[in-house]
Amino acid sequence: MREISAQNTFNGMNMLNAHFGFGVTGATPLTIDTIRIEWPSGILDVCTSVLSNVMYIATEGQCLLPTSLNSFENSKIDYFSLSIYPNPISDHLSFKYNLHYPEIVQIDILDINGKCVHSEKLIDVVSGSNASSLDIKNIATGFYTLKLSSGKHISHGKFVKN
């Protein structure tokens, strides 16, 4: 068991920010059995089966939600390690992504206004490195966002369709 508080963590300074780690975990992320968050209001949040190597936002009453913003390094953490190629794209959108464990992945292509122009599910996805491609001949020229989601995790990548 490890106890942390906002006053004894990196850059705490009387804020309710807490930064902590679990050391080197190797190629396979650790799964933390339980994280208990005791809020100043008295509310207790208990989060179970929490993956390491992911930055989370804790919101009172909602437990932990993964975030893509890494405020300590001012860069992005991408749960899927999404990579889109080539970019710009003509007819076939190819992308690579990683998964921590086998799961169903929802794929959405969103136009510049956030409207979904293509949607599908990848069902037989394995843990580790994966590659997929989509036929986008019927999608109009423009700027788009590829959105991957599974469970609580969401990742976005931008691309241009010629």
Give residue-wise pLDDT tens across range 65-110: 766 544 333 334 456 788 898 889 999 999 998 887 788 889 999 9
CB neighbours (10 Å) of residue 84? Answer: 16
Question: Would you say residue 152 has pLDDT above 80?
Answer: no
Question: Per DSSP, what are the bridge partners of residue 17?
Answer: none
Say whether both 95 and 147 belong to one domain: yes
Say whether both 87 and 157 belong to one domain: yes
- Range of 107's domain? 83-161
Residue 144 maps to which CATH number?
2.60.40.3080
Please give the tally of structural domains in the chain: 2
Q: Distance between CA atoms of 159 and 73, rounded to whole angstroms?
A: 25
Say whether both 11 and 65 belong to one domain: yes
Question: Would you say residue 154 has pLDDT above 90?
Answer: no
For CA atoms 83, 55, 126, 149, the dihedral sign is negative
Say whether both 91 and 72 belong to one domain: no
CB 106, CB 150: distance < 8 Å: yes
